[in-house]
Structure 1
Amino acid sequence: MTTQRPETERQAPVRVFWAPGCSSCLRTKEFLKKRGIAFVSVNVKDDTGAREQLLALGARSVPIVARGERFVYAQSNADIVGFLGLEETAAEMLPPAVLVERLDRVLHAAARYLKQVPEAELDVVFNDFFAPRALAQHAFRVAEAFVEATETGEDYTYERMMRGTHDVGPGDDILGYGASVIAALDAWWQHCPDRSCSAPLRAYWGVQSRHELLERAAWHSAQHTRQLQSIVEHFGGLPDGPLGERELAGLPLPDSVWMEASADA
């Protein structure tokens, strides 16, 4: 994706394909805006024909940063830097042991906040995204998908990451599910033979080290937990143990908690 390109392609406008609620999309748009990089904002949910444009590129998920006929899965800021040829160095990742601690704290917080959401609101879609019960499931599922892929060596696919989220229904025991995910994460780390997490795994956006995937799981689950905290606050609650430095320090999170469905470049 970073080889020399024709001049006409280098001059083509940058396009960002995104969808409302997508945490990686929000982070990608903030990343480009902070650097003054103009882009065409393509909402694949609301823009007629946008999904066809995406498929024509050969992509199958968002966010995508594209220029001409070339694109990069923008799951990694480092990949965006390489694709656009920016003169900067990617931020250093937290050590795996610290990332595991951050992720563990975040998942415990997600469980606390879910218990604080009013019963009548648990299965009501919030902010044009997920209902709180499904949002909590996804925060846990992101971490569980990482553990599964790491333990089995199987691909970290989009389908693996999203498994079960759209099927959450009223009465589903998400707190019990979350407890099992936290236990699986702790057991994996306790018995992990490679504490550097340097071995590669294939993800749906390319080959990544386990360290890179762990960082993504940590910030991704943290972002959704921030959203759960926001929901508690929206309904007048005081979050039980608000997220702070102990949970979020050093994670490459977007600045914003939510992205408006109408947001553009």
Structure 2
Amino acid sequence: MAKSEGGIMETVKTVFWALLIAGIFRTLFFQPFWIPSGSMKDTLLIGDFLFVNKMAYGYSRHSCPFSACPFEGRIFGSEPERGDVVVFRHPTNGTDFIKRVIGLPGDRVQMIDGVLHLNGEPVEITPQPDFEEVVGPQGPQGHQPRCSNAPVGEGALCTKERATETLPGGVTHSILNIEDGTRGDNTPEFVVPEGHYFVMGDNRDNSIDSRFPQSIGGVGFVPFENLLGRADRVIFSSAGARMVYFWTWRSDRFFREIE
């Protein structure tokens, strides 16, 4: 009996320490994040689940896992690069957002007729086949997709123009366009301040990002210290209102690398 009890206790200890280590690992190095909106389609879909690499840019007072951190600024981290998909704390309202880094400190960023211009030069745009999805509620909040071919009834096919955008340095990613002539399609030229970044959603007409000032609910420039981490890979994806609805799982997106 003593041997049996000793074996059970050893098992309990092993499980305890395994859970403790896993919890510490998650707290220090990774943060789970569910995609709640369509602002990053078609790179990220509503219902995608991912882990944010918190060590990619180091720790700040926002990303530190402890209640009180003994440092200001950032430690251990590297600098973001153009094209990184990042999770960050909104500079004014504290909400966690996910967008793509477009402009680095010192860059001049402008949208002209829906085309991104960096430092006075238009980026390369290559047309691709339209992005298609079925009209219907998406995710726990039941968002309805916006469509280039609107009005579109429930259950019908919703389309958006799609293209590949190539940033300086060669990073490529997919972008979507719903309609021409929107406010975000033509902007003044922004000069990114030192220590800040200019971010945008890949679903350009359905994203509140650095093109819009914080005074009207936009993101504005994102301080380096507000970056929580980099999103590298989708771990799991569900198109339904609940994760347990296994018939809505998107198995083709499991462990997909984020480009």
TM-score (ref. length: structure 1):
0.29
Choose between structure 1 and 2: higher helix proportion.
1
Larger relative strand fraction: 2
Q: Which has the larger radius of gyration?
A: 2
Taking structure 2 as the reference length, the TM-score comes to 0.30
